């Protein structure tokens, strides 16, 4: 996509927790794009401030979960004078179609605060064209 | 209030509350700067100087231009998203486009000492204050 329009600020969405957390800190939901090609499903998540070591990706019972931790120790002893956004960890999960993906072949790449997950489709889940008669 | 993180358990919570309290504070009030343009900015005091931290995930360093003039900083560039032609979309929440924001600060800057670092989609803009603008201690005779 070529950038044509002016960018606007997207407000961060806070995670709605299913169970109450033991720590009162606020957690945010990363803005996510998901798209599909013939061979794979790709999940792209924006987690500014999270580096490769602090992104945790799991697939369990067909649920893809991503957690991103920010390093806020560098903010230590800094005094905010003007703020427009809140800093916090990220978390989001998606239900995957059962048995559609090869869990062991999922790959992840982190670049400029954007996590790209590639989930290769299992052989049985690949496209079957339906002929029109 | 200076922040210290003695207790790590609720340190993040206290930090978030400190950020919350300064949301759209009147620090920029007497300047021409507006609130809410992209990219969003947080400003911290570091001794006599300031540090601006700006979130812009997905922006490539090469597409980013920074300028400093007097008491203003300008951040411009573009954020591109390209998934190739054959992709079929399930969910689209990220936005792409160009941006150009000028922030006029209530302090004069020293352009030669201003530095910036971009990492993990976060720009840290170290805003060194001009020598003439720094507070001076006055000796009482």
Chain A touched by B72 (CB under 8 Å): no
Nearest 5 degrees, angle CA B118-CA B123-CA B127? 110
* Interface pTM, i.e. ipTM: 0.86
pLDDT computed for residue B7 by the predictor: 59
Whether B18 has a pLDDT exceeding 60, the answer reads yes
Q: Which of A18-32, B2-16, B48-62 has the lowest mean pLDDT?
A: B2-16
Q: Give CA separation, A45 vs A66, B105, B140, in Å.
A: 9, 32, 58
Q: Is B12 helix (H, G, I), strand (E, B) or coil?
A: helix
**Residue partners of A128: CB distance under 8 A and separation at least 6:** none
Of A75, A88, A114, the CB nearest to B57: A114
Q: Which residue has the higher pLDDT, A130 or B35?
A: A130
Paired tokens of A127: 């496209």
pLDDT, mean of residues B20-26: 87
* Range B18-22 contact pairs with CB under 8 angstroms and sequence separation of 24 or more: B18/A80, B19/A80, B19/A83, B19/A85, B19/A86, B19/A87, B20/A83, B20/A86, B21/A80, B22/A80, B22/A81, B22/A82, B22/A83
Q: Residue holding tokens 């997207």?
A: A10
Measured between beta carbons, which residues in chain B are less than 8 angstroms from residue A39?
none
Per-residue confidence at B30, pLDDT binned at 50, 70, 90? confident
Residue-wise pLDDT tens digits, A77-96: 889 999 999 999 999 999 99
Of A5, A24, A25, the CB nearest to B97: A5
By CA distance, what is B43's nearest residue in A? A82
Per-residue confidence at A119, pLDDT binned at 50, 70, 90? very high
**Most B CBs within 10 Å, among A15, A23, A83, to test the B interface:** A83
Paired tokens of A23: 């720590």
Chain B touched by A95 (CB under 8 Å): no
Q: Please indicate whether, in this complex, the C-beta atoms of B90 and A86 are within 8 angstroms of each other.
A: no
pLDDT computed for residue B1 by the predictor: 47
Q: Give CA separation, B41 vs B49, B123, B134, in Å.
A: 16, 9, 23
């Amino acid at each position: 996509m070529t950038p044509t329009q002016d960018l606007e600020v997207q407000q961060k969405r806070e995670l709605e927790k299913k169970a109450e957390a033991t720590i009162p800190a606020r957690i945010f939901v990363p803005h996510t794009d998901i798209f599909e090609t013939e061979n794979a499903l790709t999940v792209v998540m924006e987690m500014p401030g999270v580096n490769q070591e602090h992104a945790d990706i799991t697939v369990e019972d067909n649920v893809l979960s991503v957690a991103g931790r920010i390093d806020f120790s560098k903010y230590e002893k800094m005094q905010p004078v003007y703020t427009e956004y809140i800093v916090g960890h990220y978390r989001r999960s998606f239900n995957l179609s059962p048995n559609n993906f090869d869990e062991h072949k999922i790959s992840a790449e982190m670049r400029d605060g954007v996590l790209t997950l590639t989930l290769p489709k299992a052989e049985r889940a690949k496209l079957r064209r339906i002929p029109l008669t | 209030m200076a922040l210290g993180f003695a207790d790590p358990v609720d340190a993040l919570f206290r930090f978030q509350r400190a950020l919350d309290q300064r949301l759209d504070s009147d620090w920029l009030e007497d300047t021409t700067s507006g609130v809410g343009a992209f990219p969003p900015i947080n400003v911290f005091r570091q001794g006599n100087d300031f540090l601006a931290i700006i979130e812009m995930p997905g922006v490539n360093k090469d597409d980013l231009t920074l300028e400093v003039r007097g008491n203003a900083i300008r951040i411009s560039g573009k954020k591109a998203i390209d998934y190739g032609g054959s992709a079929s979309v399930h969910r689209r929440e990220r936005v792409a486009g160009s941006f150009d924001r000028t922030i006029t600060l209530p302090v004069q800057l020293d352009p030669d000492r201003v530095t910036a670092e971009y990492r993990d989609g976060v720009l840290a803009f170290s805003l060194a204050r001009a020598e003439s603008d720094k507070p001076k201690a006055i000796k009482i005779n």
